Amino acid sequence: MNRIAILYQAQLPPAKDGIQKPMKVGGYSDSGADIAFELLENNFDVITPVENPDITNDKDWVFPDTKDGIEAALQKGVKIFWLNTVLYQQHTIESYLYKGIEVVGQVPSSVDVYDDKLFTNSLLKSHNIPIPKNKLITIENYNNLSLELEFPLVLKPIRGRGSQGVIRIDSRYELNENLDKLFSDNQYGNAVYVEQYLEGQEITITVMPKGKYWINNNEEYFSTPWCLPAVKRFNHNRGIAPYNGITAVIENSEVLDDDELQTIEIQEVYQHCIKSAELIGIKAPIRIDCRANNQGRYLLFDLNMKPNMTGPSRPHRKRQDSLTLLSARKIGWNYVDLLSNILNQRWKASR
């Protein structure tokens, strides 16, 4: 196999139509280092920025997603770039896509479109995929907002990251107070949205792209996207799953048991997730968060173009299973199995 480099996010992405996607501290260098270490330990030809990377120093293992970082990797003979970073139109990697490299990750211009959660929700709704009722709130209209939705609501960034910045709102006073703070801080730009709060169980589903996979020592070909087993979330904070940068997901998440996985409701939501993945043309895994309404039917409320890929590869990271890895374990994959199967879906751009 060709030499592999893992890219991490080195800078804040540009605002899009006044909407800002916040940057994770470290730019996913932690999960990038987890990936690089695990692959290297299993004899994959991973290249690192420094000769003898320190096992505890994340950035010794990953290259920044800048021109200098990509060029440095190319000079070391890298042919495969794992895009463990936030992508967008005119991201630096686009300049290299037609120069013979292979990539693991989504098409940057697609991420630019579908990271807008309101746009994506509207697209899903137009294809009869169930989503919660929602409403856009801008810095211009929030003081005179006509709100048809009933409380409780969930206040969310339009280009958010997981549950960061997501707040349950129980009253109009609480809504105004939080909007004042959000718009004065300007962390998420000049617009946010609210959606109906769902009372039922929350699950997250990783959807894998179509392709060949190794499962239980057998090669299987999937002609469409397909779902890893659903993971349920619990120990919420005021009804919202805590941000995984604060609470490790293994402390509040577990795969549904066999009986739950076979229910009509879960099988139905799998089909909605597969259809969603087909609509946006995924090239790498995505994660879709879903929650049941009062009737037990699951609605899709958050489509994440870049699921977290942390893993317990290094001694000080033994409790860092991601939601996707928890799910993958159910089908018999360990961390390197998951990573190698994702790596097998790498693609090369063609004009």
Q: What pLDDT, on the 0 to 100 scale, is given for residue 74?
A: 98
Q: What pLDDT, on the 0 to 100 scale, is given for residue 168?
A: 95
Residue 13 has pLDDT above 90, yes or no: yes
- 3-class DSSP assignment, residue 271: helix
Q: What pLDDT, on the 0 to 100 scale, is given for residue 244?
A: 61
Distance CA 313, CA 321 (A): 9
Domain(s) labelled CATH 3.30.470.20 in the chain stretch across 202-343
In this prediction, residue 114 has a pLDDT band, given cuts at 50, 70 and 90, of: very high
In this prediction, residue 143 has a pLDDT band, given cuts at 50, 70 and 90, of: confident
Q: What pLDDT, on the 0 to 100 scale, is given for residue 326?
A: 97
**Which option is the CATH number for 132-196: 1.10.2020.10, 3.30.1490.20, 3.40.50.1360, 3.40.50.300?**
3.30.1490.20
User: Looking at the whole model, is its pTM more than 0.85?
Assistant: yes
The alpha carbon torsion through 280, 286, 291, 293 (nearest 10 deg) reads: 20
Average pLDDT score over residue span 44-56? 97
Average pLDDT score over residue span 98-110? 97
For the beta carbon of residue 49, count every other beta carbon within 10 angstroms.
16
pLDDT in tens, 52-87: 999 999 999 999 999 999 999 999 999 999 999 999
Q: Please state which CATH number belongs to domain 3-104.
A: 3.40.50
CATH architecture, domain 202-343: 2-Layer Sandwich (3.30)
In this prediction, residue 179 has a pLDDT band, given cuts at 50, 70 and 90, of: very high
Residue 147 has pLDDT above 90, yes or no: no
Burial 164-183 (b: 16+ CB within 10 A, else e): bbbbbbeeeebbeebbeebb
Average pLDDT score over residue span 322-329? 97
In this prediction, residue 167 has a pLDDT band, given cuts at 50, 70 and 90, of: very high
Cβ contacts of residue 176 below 8 Å, gap of 6+? 142
Residue 1 has pLDDT above 80, yes or no: no
Q: What pLDDT, on the 0 to 100 scale, is given for residue 340?
A: 98
For the beta carbon of residue 88, count every other beta carbon within 10 angstroms.
18
Average pLDDT score over residue span 300-326? 95
Domain(s) labelled CATH 3.30.1490.20 in the chain stretch across 132-196
Average pLDDT score over residue span 34-49? 98
pLDDT in tens, 186-206: 889 999 999 999 999 999 999
Residue 335 has pLDDT above 70, yes or no: yes
- 3-class DSSP assignment, residue 93: helix
Q: What pLDDT, on the 0 to 100 scale, is given for residue 242?
A: 75
Domain(s) labelled CATH 3.40.50 in the chain stretch across 3-104
Answer whether 297's CB lies under 8 Å from 272's CB: no
Residue 245 has pLDDT above 70, yes or no: no
Residue 110 has pLDDT above 80, yes or no: yes
Mean of the per-residue pLDDT values of the chain: 94
Provide the residue type at 229 as one letter: P
Q: What pLDDT, on the 0 to 100 scale, is given for residue 243?
A: 67
Q: What pLDDT, on the 0 to 100 scale, is given for residue 148?
A: 85
Residue whose pair of structure tokens reads 């374990």 in the numeric block: 329
